[in-house]
Amino acid sequence: MLTLIILILGASFILYTILGGADFGAGIVETLAGEKGERTISKAIAPVWEANHVWLILAVVILFTGFPSVYASLSLVLHIPLMMVLLGIIFRGTAFTFRHYDVINDNTHKYYTFLFKISSFITPFFLGVTLGAMILGRITFDQSVGFYEMFVLPWLNLFCFMMGVFAIALFGYISAVFLVGETKNDRERRRYAMFSRQLMIFTMLFGLLVFAAAELQNHHLLNEFLQSPISIIMLLLSTILCPVIWYFLNRKTNKTLYLRIAVGIQVTSILIGWFYIQYPVLIMVKGGDHFTFFNTQAPEATLQQLVIALIVGLVLIVPGFIYLFKVFKVER
């Protein structure tokens, strides 16, 4: 039962990274593309951007119900970066809605566009920062250490900063590849293919810098990685897919489905590789008393009800999601 909950939690995290990442990355790519890309980007994400938050909500519900001490601890100690994540989501959604659906295109349009772009960087960055704080092991629940050491020091450091920058590059990369299939002419397609290649390189570079930053912070992430055969295999898989994706990006014929599947597998392999390094730890706590799936789980009766609710919810959500993408995103 616990294994099923962990699998659903992992799946929701992967789906939000891929689908939500494509949405947030749209603002990042639009920053590169300028005004010429605004129409394509707005049309591409308008039908699905709001629905993709379902997977984030699902992950939060699982943590709140199945691992309440983890949810409470994160909400307390990392309330600053988590608040920035929420503000980014709110501002981005508000700005996009007013920009895309406003019947009058006046001077306010540029302010909505600016807010849309800025908030598209804020949320991925602080999601990465939050994840970095959970990995680094500087979180403490000793209230005697003071505000800064308890609520700021765990996330305000080089490693968490690099995790945030890596998340920005990854989300931008996912979105650029997604937008390749949304273009209407070959010139525009080549442009987004160029952004995809550039952001792929930046994602790989910042991924390496994450390991370097971890070593500088005395967190031997590379050593943990090399001790996990599954993580090494996942890295090799994601690396092998780079030339495959590059090949599809260079093709003049539109291979949108193959391209998106390849990127989806690549991102999934990256996340699975990280999961096997971290498992079963959810929060690395200063002093070694870490929060794991096993020492923070809710009572058995609660987990049983959670599994039932998740199964019923997924039976309703998944077909609806498939239908949504079939209506708006499958070419006829």
Residue 50: per-residue pLDDT: 74
Tell whether the model's pLDDT for residue 331 goes beyond 60.
no
- In this structure, is residue 331 part of a structural domain? no
Cis check for the bond before 280: say yes or no (omega within 30 of 0).
yes
Residue 332: per-residue pLDDT: 42
- In this structure, is residue 322 part of a structural domain? yes
Instruction: State which amino acid sits at residue 113.
Output: T
- In this structure, is residue 332 part of a structural domain? no
For the chain, the domain total comes to 1
Residue 251: per-residue pLDDT: 76
User: For all residues of the chain together, what is the average pLDDT?
Assistant: 88
pLDDT per residue as tens digits for the range 151-205 = 999 999 999 999 999 999 999 999 999 888 777 778 888 888 899 999 999 999 9
- In this structure, is residue 87 part of a structural domain? yes
Average pLDDT over residues 267-279: 92
CA 158, CA 222: separation in Å to the nearest integer? 16
The residue segments making up the domain with residue 317 are 2-326
Residue 46: per-residue pLDDT: 66
Angle in degrees, CA 220, 63, 324, rounded to 5: 105
- In this structure, is residue 251 part of a structural domain? yes
CA 37, CA 20: separation in Å to the nearest integer? 19
CA 309, CA 125: separation in Å to the nearest integer? 32
Q: What percent of the chain has pLDDT over 70?
A: 94
pTM given for the model: 0.92
pLDDT per residue as tens digits for the range 72-131 = 999 999 999 999 999 999 998 888 888 877 756 667 778 888 898 899 999 999 999 999
Q: Give the burial class of 94: count Cβ atoms within 10 A of its Cβ; 0-12 exposed, 13-18 middle, 19 or more buried.
A: middle
CA 18, CA 12: separation in Å to the nearest integer? 10
